[in-house]
Structure 1
Amino acid sequence: MKQVSYKYNNISKDVLPYIRHMEQVEDNRERLHELSNHWNTLSLLSQLGDAGVNMSRIKNNFTELSFELINHLAIELLNKNIDEMDFKAQVAVDIMIRNLFERTADIGFLATDDDIRAFLLKNDTKYSTHYNDDLEIIKERFKEYVKKYSVYFDIVLMSPKGEILANLDDELTLSKSKDSIIDEVLNTSGEYVETFKYHDFLPKEKKSLVYSYKVTKSNEEGSEIIGILSLCFKFQDEMKQIFSNLINKDKKEAILLLDHEGTVIATSDKYQIPLGAELEIVLNDNYKLISFGGVDYICKSNKTTGYQGFFGLEWYGHVMIPISHAFAQEDEESFEISEELLLSILQNGKQFSEALKNIPKQANSIQKSLNRAIWNGTINQGSTTSNKQFSKALMLEIRQTGQDTKSIIGSSIANLTKTIILGDSVFYADLIVDIMDRNLYERANDCRWWALTSDFQKILAKDSIGMDDVLRMNEILEYINDLYTVYTNIFIYDKHGYIKATSNPDERHLLGKRVSKNFVTQTLGLSDSSKYAVSDFEASEYYDNKHTYIYNAAIKNEENVVGGIGLVFDSEVQFKNMIQESLPKNVDGTTKNGVFATLATKNMQIISSTNEKHQIGQYLDIDSSYFNLQSGESTSEIIIYDDKYYALGVKCSKGYREYKSVQDDYVNDVYSFFFSYICDKSEAVYKKDDNFSPKTDVVFEKGSKSIDIATFMIANQWLGIDTKHVVETVSATELKTTIKIDKDHHFKGTVIYNEKAVMVIDIQKFLQEKDVEEYQEIVIIKYGEHDTYMGILVNSLGIIAEVADDNVNQLHNEIIGAGTLIDSLVFPSGDNPGKDVLSILSLDKIMTELISPEYSKLIHKQVMR
């Protein structure tokens, strides 16, 4: 990846146009740049003060890592925005296509309506005898239809010659249409005609989306065409609804729908990107930087994936975000999660690149090198530095600057990890529940419209319903159910709740049985045709004893309720499909690994799930606080579920149009839970990788005479050696094991120091300690008259403590015996002298008991493992 220079940083060429607009990246860059300047000052002071620390390599390493961090932050932030744009462009067009698929079913069904056929057969022109009386009746029927199916603003009925016989717009003066759809409808072999253009019978609309079809005398093939029916869709209104669910106002983004030529046919912001604007369709690129109206935009387009084989017209979802607002910081979710856990998740999550995982590892490695250099420098300065206090202060400042640098890197990577993990979790939860609400809106419409079927009203009003009546109702229901396959059965019941007809021949055994359910009582008590009733989500004998919803509407004859219609929704199949179709997909169309979603009721009952463990009808085992979300509210966080870490997005349904709105009597909050697997809980165990953990709160008394103690940790014991015996420390990675050694033997190998092989030993088991973590350092000490070198493996380095001579408390062998390598203790000053006691190792005991060939005294006093 080609890199370019940007404000002293080397960054990817791809992010150069955007990085200056990334506020959080710029904040980190400025902080790291300030620290870089501080490193320069410390490096110079280190040289002038003869501190014994070579800062150049460490400073350069931190600088290079800072460059890498800034580059990754910018790349990941850009990728996050592109992913969101891609998602929104796809959803904008796909949601519309799903909606329009329903419209194709509507026009096909309504064109076979008996009342419309009867009107046309009696009124082939406006000049027929009973036209005016019949017109008012058919217009009332049209009004009822658009009340139920509120996605339409008009219904136009024409003769085959284009004479307008009925419509809802009383201001229309046109008597005969010459629109091109007339010929299209009369000559089509398809099931509908879909047009988006100017229609002469809708003169107020520059462009309108209309679904048209021929009305024939009967359903038989080749039946005479007696009229043309057009359903006029609320296109701009529907796009406004879709855009409102997707738009991020902070980013000033524009979400659009483009036609096949790239012309804007719907816009979320007409002042920014107006209707009719001609734009480039960005399909083959992940994104593109395009200038429009003097403003630079990041752009992305997507074509529809279709729905059940329906692709509509050649339209594209398109998102444009001004580059100046594209990376506006969003409010973070308020849940608590530690930086350490996020970094641990980063190391174990499969969705993170190796390059990203390596940044905190590199920061730790550099910090170790710095800590080692400071520790060694502090030891060396004891004998060589003339200004000891200055050097100590400098060492502390170097150490603090290193920790500050690592802290910035750690917090930046942790926040980035959180951003990547949560990603689109709420988007997917929202998409699932939005698709559900839109689907169930249609179910509420269906039951209310079909309840207005004239034959149902007339038959149920009879004192006695004969077999011919039953067969007629069965026939109508079968025809409906063949077209609307989301129902397993549709049944008609009388005013006493007895089933009189069913659509499913396999359910005819229900005829004559009484439905003794609360939803029937509610239905029979409905006052007008705009109301409906829905069963609870429960196991039903009308759905093979499985859980479902049954949608109901009252059937009225004039003002009297004479019965009801019940629609048995195929919940198991349909809800599963809604979820499955909404989950993120791979390029080949398969669902991405590690994701699943669950729909649940307010009382935590599972409606559907793509997780086999979440059985329908059971209760979702999750924190109940999520169910406190109110209509339309959402949240996301990282949770432990089933001993795994997941990114969780939760959304409470808010309805669609009038369905479950404040005007609707029906209240039923449904919660969508989207889970995206991160890693197993057992994998995300944070292992602190900082081998310089000075006990800064420990203060030792100082006297006129004092000694410097080099301290370190072996397992849980804080140990020290007089600095006059310490040469320096080297990384434990330098250890060489060239011969086979018993794993329980304390001799662990050698390290090359000053071109000599130095023996390295492990004294942990002789301190009555168990292994707690791998060794990080080898402290090299000198002993004997000839300054022989020896290495001791330690877990981490500590401070170089200045201790008063008389504060060193010797241990007497006659009291403690020979079973220890400790020869003295140092207690800190203060109110709690027993806190953080420093144990001083005896080199004589180590030499006598472990190094000399005749050692034998301690070898059997090991901790049992």
Structure 2
Amino acid sequence: MKEFSNQQIKQFNEYLPGVKSYLDALEHQDLWWTTVAMVGKINNENIDPQLLVSVVETQKEFQNLRDIMMQSLVNRYLNQASSEMTLNAQASIDMIIRNLFERTADVGFLATDDDLVEFLTKEQVTEQEQTFIEHRIQEYVAKYSVYDDIVLLNPQGEVRAKLNENNPVTISSDPLIQQALRTQEAYIEIYRHSDIFPNKTQSLIYAKRIENQGQAVGVLCMSFEFSEEMEGIFNTLIKETPGYELMLLDESGKVIAANSETQSSLGKQVTEPRQDTAPKMSAQGLEFCTLTHGYQGFKGLKWYGYAKAGYQTAFQKGKEEASIEVEINHDSSIYLHDLEEMNLKVSTLLLIVILNGKITSLKRDVKAFLPVLDSFQDISQNIQEIFDDFIHHIHQVLVKTIITKVEFSASLAVEVMDRNLYERANDCRWWALNSTFRELLTKHAESTTLQVQETDELHKILKYINDLYTVYTNIMLYDARGKILAVSNPDESYLVGTQLPQQSVITDCLKLDSTQKYTVSKFEQTDLYSDRHTYVYHAPVKHWEQPNKNVGGIALVFDSEPEFQAMLQETEPKYLNKEINEATHCLFTTPAGEIISSSSDRFSVGQQLVLPSSLKELPNGKSGAIEWQYEGKKCIVGYKLSEGYREYKVNDGYQNDILAMVITFIE
């Protein structure tokens, strides 16, 4: 527990009226104690002096308990504020890094796209070929809407194709081009101004050379919609903690994104970049700076998440609608027994002093001292009541901290899930448009047997994709009858030639009439995932010459078990109290209560929960916290029902509501 000086306690009193009221009440009792003791000493010369010594010593015990209580209460308020600040700063950097991890795979895949490679190998192209490749890029961004522009350049920096018609660039001298052509790295990632995207002050660019038979034929540059994405992240976070300043800093400590540009303008130096272990305190308030935890080993550019708030904001109660009244029982593992025992000790000591005083007064016939002892008895009762109320208040601060954390973590978890599964919906639709897939599946559909080398080519491409996008256990191509033609996972090559399970999903997929549409299996056990629960994403593969005709499909087996576990573990609340950490469990469920993933063995995937009635018909995006009795145990539950991300589950025709729950048992 952090120790505060009396001056700091008084400073916090300005922002914590609850602390001030208790301190004023206890100081009043302390002053009254001193006054009564002085009156007793002056007017009772015949009393045993040791009795007055005991009164003074007991008063010191009381003062010590008062100070400990104050320290404990301020620390708990500070812990609540620090926790919110830490979560916000960490989430702001981790959420964007998770997103950018997907971009590193995108640039690796798109740079090997057959159509892009063939286009760049030609010195002269027809108008039809130019239109085709521009349409190809548009198809890509229609699915991965996180890009605002994509540019193809030849090795001399001449622009061969671009997405954004308003981008005036025709030739670039950016050293990024030569760097991409020469590097041995899988890709180049930069954040700065570039003449490739001259309309933007700063661009977050992913670049990779495009090769044909080992010869560099050009460079692919993908511009990520960084400002828009950070605005969405900040808006998501700030809903839970209004008044906070949230920022992303570059490696020099300058602001590259902020939730409020009026408070922290872009490019401003706000602090020395560092990795804090806990929020720092200043005369103005709290601040916290942190690096990303990374995602699957990827940490991106050396950026920092940064949050700051004045004490008035940091200590505010928060949303009233999130408040629930929950009592912590005496037998709870998180009950503050140590404070209660100290309170009992002081009360007992004072009671002993009073009893001894009355006995001594009667023995020595010093009846004038009895009113003094009666006053001490009144003081004792007042102190007991104040401390009882004080301990209850500290428990309520602890409850409010739990409520804040479970609600925030549930909101964060389902946000991360929607963002992740958005990528899965994009992947299946884009990969289905691969020209080699379309040509060979068309050939197969026209009753032409695929040659061994052609099947090997399908396996090779699928494996290359899966090596880039590691969240799948297998990626499969199947024909119009649902027969598997090729797989990405060599260990599951035995599936080739067999019929895909979940026939109804395949039927739905093969009916889709647009390259923007996809379908997903229910979250259920499948042989494709070792009889475990997962989602399988499907998109139709179009006929090579008749784009309105489907000749098969692509199926992506999502590695749900570790991926969902990671989402829950990364977003779960962290407490200073070990018992509370052990009593906290994070879940993804369906609205009907079927568990999709769990952070602990107490809840298992596929288990059916009987949810509280208040959680059964939530509107999308609704979050909050409730008290719940689960198997006879009282707990606090933070929750949020998914609301989608960008177009995913918003206007793309896919409905899959997920409820995130964070459960902390308090008895």
What range describes the TM-score normalised by the shorter chain of this pair?
A: 0.7 to 0.9
1:257 aligns with 2:248: yes
1:190-589 paired onto structure 2 within 5 Å: 190-218=185-213, 223-247=214-238, 252-280=243-271, 281-283=273-275, 286-289=278-281, 296-331=284-319, 333-338=322-327, 341=329, 344-345=331-332, 348-349=333-334, 357-370=337-350, 398=379, 401-422=382-403, 424-461=405-442, 462-468=445-451, 470-505=455-490, 506-511=492-497, 513=499, 515=501, 517-557=503-543, 558-583=547-572
Which of 597, 600, 607 is matched with 2:586 structurally? 597
Equivalent AA in structure 2 for residue 362 of structure 1: M
- Compute the displacement of 1:357 (Å): 4.9
Q: 1:23·1:327 contact (CA, 8 Å) conserved in 2?
A: no
Q: Distance in 2 between matches of 1:425 and 1:234?
A: 31
CA contact (8 A) 1:607 1:616 kept: yes
Which AA in structure 2 matches 1:492?
Answer: L
Q: CA deviation at 1:166?
A: 0.9
Change (3 A) 1:185 1:392: closer
Q: Describe the superposition over 1:406-449 as per-residue Cα deviations: whole angstroms up to 9, x where unpaired.
A: 33322222223324555633333333333322221111010111
What is the alpha-carbon distance in structure 1 between the residues aligned to residue 435 and residue 3 of structure 2?
A: 72
Q: Is the 8 A contact 1:264 1:279 kept in 2?
A: yes
SS at match of 1:424: helix
Q: Which amino acid is the alignment partner of residue 518 of structure 1?
A: S
Structure 2 CA distance for partners of 1:43 and 1:404, relative to 1, 3 Å: farther
**CA distance 1:67–1:577, change in 2 (3 Å):** closer
Identity of aligned residues (%): 34
Whether the 8 Å contact between 2:188 and 2:206 is mirrored in structure 1 is yes
Q: Is the 8 A contact 1:602 1:670 kept in 2?
A: yes
Asked if 2 retains the 8 angstrom alpha-carbon contact of 1:303 and 1:317, the reply is yes
What is the alpha-carbon distance in structure 2 between the residues aligned to residue 29 and residue 163 of structure 1?
A: 73
Q: Is the 8 A contact 2:168 2:198 kept in 1?
A: no
In 2: Cα distance, 1:290 partner to 1:275 partner = 23
User: Counterpart in 2 of 1:617?
Assistant: 606
Shift of 1:302: 0.9
Residue 79 of structure 2: aligned partner: 79
Aligned match of 2:105:
105
Q: What are the within-5 Å matches in structure 2 for residues 789-804 of structure 1? A: none
The residue identity in structure 2 corresponding to 1:69 is: M
Which amino acid is the alignment partner of residue 489 of structure 2? Answer: N
Q: Per-residue displacement from partner, 1:603-650 (whole Å, max 9, x unpaired)?
A: 222222232343322324665654544433334467665787766543
Return closer, same or farther for 1:460/1:257 CA change in 2, 3 Å cut-off: same
Q: Which residue pairs with 2:88 in the alignment?
A: 88
- Structure 2 letter corresponding to 1:364: L
Query: More deviation in 399-408 or 450-459?
Result: 399-408
Task: Please give the per-residue CA displacement for 1:628-676, whole angstroms capped at 9, x wherever unaligned.
Answer: 4443333446766578776654333332222222x13222222333355
Alpha-carbon shift at residue 70 of structure 1 (Å):
1.9
- Alpha-carbon distance in structure 1 between the residues aligned to 2:173 and 2:463: 37
- Residue type at the aligned position of 2:301: L
User: Alpha-carbon deviation of 1:118?
Assistant: 1.9
8 Å CA contact retained: 1:194, 1:212? yes
Residue 121 of structure 1 deviates from its aligned partner by: 2.1
Q: Which segment drifts farther, 311-320 or 184-193?
A: 311-320
Does the residue aligned with 1:467 lie in a helix, a strand or coil? coil
Shift in Å, 1:106: 0.6
CA contact (8 A) 1:614 1:620 kept: no
Counterpart in the other structure of 1:631: 620
Q: 1:297 to 1:179 in 2, by over 3 A?
A: farther
User: CA separation of 1:385/1:117 partners in 2, compared to 1, >3 Å: closer, same or farther?
Assistant: same
> Is the Cα–Cα contact under 8 Å of residues 625 and 636 in structure 2 kept in the other structure?
yes
Q: CA deviation at 1:266?
A: 0.9
Change (3 A) 1:511 1:182: same
What is the distance in 2 between the residues matched to 1:264 and 1:577?
29
TM-score of the aligned structures, taking structure 1 as reference length = 0.67
2:68 aligned counterpart, secondary structure: helix
Deviation at 1:3, TM superposition (A): 6.0
Q: State how far apart, in whole Å, the 1-side matches of 2:502 and 2:192 are.
A: 51
State the alpha-carbon separation in 1 of the partners of residues 15 and 298 from structure 2. Answer: 41
Q: Extract unaligned runs of 5+ from structure 2.
A: none
Would the aligned equivalents of 2:180 and 2:209 in 1 still touch at CA under 8 Å?
A: yes
Q: Does the CA-based 8 Å contact 2:33-2:376 persist in structure 1?
A: no
Post-superposition offset of 1:503: 3.0
Structure 1 range deviating more: 482-491 or 422-431: 422-431
Could you list the per-position Cα deviations for residues 832-864 of structure 1 after superposition, in whole angstroms to 9, with x for gaps in the alignment?
xxxxxxxxxxxxxxxxxxxxxxxxxxxxxxxxx
Amino acid at match of 1:310: F
Asked if the contact 2:540–2:554 (Cα under 8 Å) also holds between the matched residues in 1, the reply is yes
Between structure 1 and structure 2, the one with the greater Rg is: 1
Following the alignment from structure 1 to structure 2, what is the Cα–Cα distance between the partners of residues 23 and 394? 28
**SS at the partner of 2:313?**
coil
Instruction: State the shift of 1:210 in Å.
Output: 0.2
1:138 maps to amino acid: I
Distance 1:431 1:603, change over 3 A: same
Distance (Å, rounded) in 1 between the aligned partners of 2:527 and 2:5: 69
Cα 1:288–1:227, aligned 2, differ >3 Å: closer, same or farther? same
Distance of 1:421 and 1:509 partners within structure 2? 48
| Match of residue 20, structure 1, among 7, 14, 24 | 14
Give the Cα–Cα distance (whole angstroms) in 2 for the partners of residues 24 and 586 of structure 1.
23
Partner of 1:659: 648
Give RMSD over aligned pairs: 3.8
How big is the shift at 1:320?
A: 1.3
Aligned residue number for residue 167 of structure 1: 162
Larger RCO: 1 or 2 (CA < 8 Å, sep 6+): 2
**CA distance, structure 2, for counterparts of residue 551 and residue 77 of structure 1:** 46
The answer to whether the 8 A contact 1:251-1:321 is kept is no
Contact 1:258-1:318 within 8 A present in 2 as well: yes
Letter in 2 for 1:401: N
Q: Is the 8 A contact 1:654 1:660 kept in 2?
A: yes
Distance 1:520 1:379 in 2: 92
Is the CA contact (8 Å cut-off) linking 1:477 and 1:503 kept in structure 2? Answer: yes
Q: 1:3 to 1:315 in 2, by over 3 A?
A: closer
Q: Provide closer, same or farther for how the CA distance between residues 247 and 670 of structure 1 changes in structure 2, counting only shifts above 3 A.
A: same
User: Which structure: greater helix fraction?
Assistant: 2
Structure 1 unaligned regions, length at least 5 = 7-12, 682-865
Secondary structure of residue in 1 paired with 2:166 = coil
**Do the aligned partners of residues 615 and 644 (structure 1) sit closer, same or farther apart at CA in structure 2, a change above 3 Å counting?**
same
Q: Distance in 2 between matches of 1:286 and 1:486?
A: 32
Counterparts of 1:429 and 1:245, CA distance in 2: 12
1:781-839 superposed Cα distances (whole Å, 9 cap, x missing partner): xxxxxxxxxxxxxxxxxxxxxxxxxxxxxxxxxxxxxxxxxxxxxxxxxxxxxxxxxxx
State the alpha-carbon separation in 2 of the partners of residues 3 and 582 from structure 1.
Answer: 31
Q: Which amino acid aligns with 2:476?
A: F
Normalised by the length of structure 2, the TM-score is: 0.85
Seen in structure 2, the aligned counterparts of structure 1 residues 603 and 250 have a Cα distance that, compared at 3 Å, is: closer
Question: Residue by residue, what CA displacement relative to the aligned partner does 1:296-341 show, whole Å, maximum 9, x if unpaired?
Answer: 34222111232222221111111111234221122465444335x1
Task: Summarize deviations over 1:757-778 as a string: whole Å, max 9, x none.
Answer: xxxxxxxxxxxxxxxxxxxxxx
Residue by residue, what CA displacement relative to the aligned partner does 1:668-717 show, whole Å, maximum 9, x if unpaired? 22233335576xx5xxxxxxxxxxxxxxxxxxxxxxxxxxxxxxxxxxxx
Structure-to-structure mapping, 1:40-189, within 5 angstroms: 61-122=61-122, 124=123, 128-130=124-126, 132-189=127-184
